[in-house]
Structure 1
Amino acid sequence: MRACALPRGLAILAGAALLTILAPAQAGGPEALYRAQCASCHGADRLGGIGPALLPGNLSRLSPEAAEAVIRDGRAASQMPGFGERLDDAAIASLAEWLYREPEVAPTWGRDEIVASHEVTHPDGSLPDTPRFEADPLNLFVVVETGDHHASVLDGDTFERIHRFPTRYALHGGPKYTPNGRYVFFGSRDGWITKVDLYNLEVVAEVRAGINMRNIAVSADGRYVMAANYLPHSLVLFDAHNLDLMKVYPVVGEDGESSRVSAVYAAPPRGSFIAALKDLEEVWEIPWPLPTEPVVATGHMATPLEQRRGHDTPNFQVRRIPVPDYLDDFFFDLDYDHVIGAARGGQGGMVVNLASGEKVADLPLEGMPHLGSGITWEHEGRRVMATPHLTRAAVSIIDMSDWTVIKTLETDGPGFFMRSHANSPYAWVDVFFGPNRDRVHVIDKARLEIVETLIPEPGKTAAHVEFDRDGEKLLLSLWEEEGAVIVYDAETLEEERRIPMSRPSGKYNVWNKTRYEEGTSH
């Protein structure tokens, strides 16, 4: 199958390239070295060009020592050359150290820069409406391969690879789908949003929303995309059809203090986006236009979205919800009535009612709970949620009726990802951090016990499970440069096959993500 025609040289963005040497001189210090060797592709202000941005926030996943190695040796599967024969160790170390310094003048990225970056390759509706493959389009998996900055599309029934295409450098926050599963949106750490037509395996449009972007969210009707930025401090709203800019929201408190945005989420029952703010004791809610069809009386309690109909609720206007602490990582109950947020420092969390803005409970969750990876299920007639911890070897299980911790499972190390499915009796959690990162635990959701610990390959990191649409099979990442996606039978826990991939991170099933399937993070 032919490759995607990617705009702006996207196919060569797979590495943190410092570009071709323009001159052998090493004099003048690291800033002069950067101007001579790097600026033509990474920009004079380090904001990126055909190469990624080289600012501290954008390099957070790369240690200074690793940056030196990239400069010296180059990066495989990219156009990043090795500089070891042209620059001595002192010059390389000096250049790497300089890249981790904040610029003297804070860079800007506003409306003009966003509009100038926008490119439409295939206007919405210009490509055929029939998939170019035989697979069930609602049971596809998109697998992000961070090793060489590609994405693979897998048939969720046969697990054959349908297509593989290059992506922007350092995708972050997980791809998001339109409700029909046809389009997928990728967000990169550098702020690029890329819309891909999965039926035709073609890029539709691209735009750069910021300099350091945390994630993106897509409205429940697939009409709007919102981006959350660390730099600049902003939320940015786009029309999803061709990624046309609609609005830039500077994130500023009532006292004039600005804030980084930790993440933005779509809340379908509320018909709104909800943003977590890093530096303000607020949660922001931004409603999108409601469907025009009338609400049919069913005898059930009206959802927040239904309550909005018939009222003059301005679309896309910010509703500020004061909260008692800085809330970072988020989790929501099924109806999006409550947000569960991790408090600053990771020592616990709190539950906030989104209608009143009042705190309804404190959660004693020490060890930096990774709430964004939390899941829920029914247990003995009540809804429970479970979350791993980033700095504690444990999984906490919480009764969502009264917000009490009903059980803590000790694990073989701090974990990052947790997954399940409504049709599976098991929940899976990795131990991503620490010496036992080659293990993954299987939890019996009825017994609330770890019943199996798998070691797919000793010494190799095992992480991030995603189920197929029916909960019968699941994929687990062997998170290595020469890694693989491993297919398991979800009932017998037996390994069935391995698909070689380059450091596969997240795997995202269309059905689970568009239907908000139980056990999948949203």
Structure 2
Amino acid sequence: MKPFAFCLPLLWVAATPAFAADPDAAAALYQTHCASCHGETRLGGIGPALLPGNLSRLKPAAAVDVIANSRPASQMPAFGETLAEGQIEALAEWLYRPPAVQPRFGEAEILASHTVMHPDGSLPDTPRFDADPLNLFIVVETGDHHASLLDGDTFERIHRFETRYALHGGPKYTPDGRYVFFGSRDGWITKYDLYNLEVVAEVRAGINMRNIAVSGDGRYVMAANYLPHSLVLFDAHNLDVMQVYPVENAAGKSSRVSAVYAAPPRGSFIAALKDIKEVWEIPWPLPTESVVSTGHMKTPLAPSRDPALESFKVRRIAVPDYLDDFFFDPGYEHVIGASRGGQGGMVVNLDSGEKVADLPLKGMPHLGSGITWEQNGRRVMALPHLGRAEVSIIDMGTWETVKTLETDGPGFFMRSHENSPYAWVDVFFGPNRDRVHVIDKQSLEIVETLTPEPGKTAAHVEFDRDGEKLLLSLWEDDGAVIVYDGDTLEELKRIPMSKPSGKYNVWNKTRYEEGTSH
């Protein structure tokens, strides 16, 4: 998922009291009341980092409310009776100003953050619960910064545990499903042992992190940062740092990283850059034997590849435009990308490095939520738009638009499964956010529109490993995860949760099942 970047409105600055014109006074307030938890340089501590890029989900008015009244399920005190209203507003406004000196976060800082609670191999190898370890779900609850582990057969909650603040980019599993890695917006990577229900290691990769990726063999983790402009490679066993890649072009211009993904058929990580017109490919060492997935990925996880692609060395692929959002075909031969400022997309062949097609997509296509399936003998991809009430369906052989479906509002997430006849898409933005559409994958028609609970946001579907049942979020503080029958569309169960966002099934994510994000 890729939320909008936040820009400080001019009206907010104009409405701020005169006290805010004195940044030294606001900085003094911060040091007195905030630094002990959020760090003297605003990089975070017990509390999250408080820098403009880390606050993109929190609007200034909401920041004032949090300072004054605290936040549910947090240790933060309320300052409404300690500070005057003008002081609170000035402090909040100051937090959205970039620091005078850009904070540093390099290898020394990464090493200093590293903690290993349980070294790899030190905990029992048998799960502490009776459930299929490949049909588990992790549900991220953003309302109070927790995650729930669900049995994908019974949909009973196995465990609920606290996470870092503002998880972002989706958790990633090792291929056996035992370990899951979480990434937070303020740069923390947490390795969690699902068999033993314990955090086993943590490290901070950066100040403002976009997402993490885990290699197809589960041996390496890579983090993509906005701040600093870097990619960071870790050994997955104990999260030891292996290499820090400053992200810049040949001319020395640096760039934020839009995202990084693992491409198992290629044996490499693929990263798109926000401020440089390049895609980077970074191969990991291949094991001695190929491993073939039993899911949707039909190509080996450890393919033979060009020997010129040396392990952990950057291969630069020039592209015609910046890539904020991107998607891959099933074999990871092509990257389909788009820039937030553009009005379309492009298809780049990763082997040749050449653009092979333009896609006339308007309304900020959400390629990161794209899915594919076989439709009447051809493979199509479908994606919602963040700025238009439609779903685009594209022939992946010709790269031409097959159909544009009108929806009840702009959408954020689209999901399906190889064994399901349906694709689900929400209408996350706009007045109809309580609805979700069900699309027949062969007729390409909306066959049902569900309203799980009027007035409450319905979003983000994830199927179980067999594609028989699915989970849908009521994305509210007093929300729930709803279990549906994938064929009859009948509601089967509701599990109360605190603003549940993404659900992540071990089988679908590790077998790269079609219809889910990777």
- Partner of residue 241, structure 1: 237
In structure 2, the residue matched to 1:94 is 90
> How far 1:295 sits from its partner (Å)?
9.8
For 1:105, which of 101, 108, 116 is the aligned residue?
101
Does residue 433 of structure 2 align to residue 444 of structure 1?
Answer: no
2:469 aligned partner, one-letter code:
K
Task: Quote the residue 2:218 is aligned against.
Answer: 222
- Tell me, yes or no, if structure 1 residue 308 matches structure 2 residue 305: yes
* 8 Å contact kept, 1:120–1:205: yes
Structure 1 residue 175: deviation in Å?
0.0
Letter in 1 for 2:139: V
Structure 2 equivalent of residue 511 of structure 1 = 507
Q: Given that residues 346 and 369 in structure 1 are in contact (C-alpha distance below 8 angstroms), is that contact kept between their aligned partners in structure 2?
A: no
Residue 101 of structure 1 aligns to which amino acid in structure 2?
R
- Secondary structure at 1:33's aligned position in 2? helix
Output the CA distance in 2 between the equivalents of 1:349 and 1:87.
49
Alignment of 1:285-304 (within 5 A): 285-293=281-289
Q: Which residue of 2 aligns with 1:361?
A: 357
Aligned to 2:49: 53
**2:493 corresponds to 1:469:** no
Does structure 2 conserve the Cα–Cα contact (< 8 Å) formed by 1:27 and 1:33? Answer: no
| Rounded Cα–Cα distance in structure 2 between residues aligned with 1:228 and 1:293 | 29
Partner Cα distance (1:169, 1:27) in 2: 27
CA distance in 1: counterparts of 2:317 and 2:209, whole angstroms: 23
Q: Does 1:144 align with 2:146?
A: no
Q: Indicate whether 1:168 and 2:164 are aligned.
A: yes
Q: Does 1:418 align with 2:414?
A: yes
Matches within 5 A, 1:19-418: 29-293=25-289, 306-308=303-305, 311-418=307-414
1:209-229: CA deviation from partner (whole Å, max 9, x where unpaired): 000000000000000000000
Q: Is the 8 A contact 1:369 1:389 kept in 2?
A: yes
1:78: how far off?
A: 1.0
Q: Deviations over 1:479-520 (max 9, x none)?
A: 000100000011110111110000000000000000000100
Q: Deviations over 1:320-378 (max 9, x none)?
A: 00011111211101111100001341411000000111110000000000000000000
Contact 2:289 2:302 (C-alpha < 8 Å) held by counterparts: no
Q: Distance in 1 between matches of 2:291 and 2:399?
A: 32
CA distance in 2, matches of 1:27, 1:344: 33
Distance change (3 Å), C-alpha of 1:419 and 1:70:
same
Contact 2:290 2:303 in 1 (8 A): no
Distance in 2, Cα, partners of 1:295 & 1:505 = 32
Task: Give the conservation status (yes or no) of the 8 Å contact 1:346–1:367.
Answer: no
CA distance in 2, matches of 1:272, 1:146: 31
- Alignment partners' CA distance in 2, 1:273 and 1:394: 31
State the partner residue of 1:20: none
Q: CA deviation at 1:27?
A: 12
| Contact 1:330 1:340 survives alignment (8 Å) | yes
| Residue pair 2:435, 2:458 contacting (<8 A) in 1 also | yes
Q: C-alpha separation between the residues in 2 aligned to 1:369 and 1:104? A: 35
Residue identity matched to 1:308: R
1:206–1:243: 8 Å Cα contact kept in structure 2? yes
Distance 2:379 2:323 in 1: 23
* Structure-2 change in CA distance of 1:217 and 1:239 (3 Å): same
| TM-superposed deviation, 1:157 | 0.5
Deviation by residue 1:236-262 (Cα, 9 ceiling, x = unmatched):
000000000000000010111000001
Output the CA distance in 2 between the equivalents of 1:306 and 1:191: 32
Match of 1:7 in 2: none
TM-score, with normalisation over the residues of structure 2? 0.93
Task: Quote the Cα distance in structure 2 between the aligned partners of 1:325 and 1:259.
Answer: 14
- d(CA) in 2 for partners of 1:156 and 1:294? 29
1:234 maps to a residue whose letter is S
Cα deviation for residue 409 of structure 1 reads 0.2
SS of the residue 1:204 aligns to = strand
**Structure 2 counterpart of 1:336, which letter?**
Y
Q: Which amino acid aligns with 1:460?
A: K
State the SS of the aligned residue for 2:182: strand
In the TM superposition, residue 474 of structure 1 has moved relative to its aligned partner by 0.4
The 2-side partners of 1:323 and 1:77 are apart by 45
The CA distance in 1 between the partners of 2:373 and 2:23, in whole Å, is 62
Q: The residue matched to 2:93 in structure 1 has which SS?
A: helix
Inter-CA distance 32–272: structure 2 relative to 1 (3 Å threshold): same
Deviation at 1:31, TM superposition (A): 0.8
C-alpha distance in 2, partners of 1:282/1:346?
16
1:456 has 2:448 as partner: no
Letter of the structure 2 residue corresponding to residue 265 of structure 1 = Y
Identity fraction in percent: 80
Alpha-carbon distance, 1:94 to partner: 0.4
Residues 260-313 of structure 1 deviation map (CA, whole Å, 9 limit, x = unaligned)? 0010000000000000100001000000001112799xxxx997953427x353
- Quick one: which amino acid aligns to residue 318 of structure 1? V
Give yes or no for contact 2:267–2:303 (8 Å, CA) kept in 1: no
Amino acid in the other structure paired with 2:261: Y
* Partner secondary structure for residue 225 of structure 1: strand
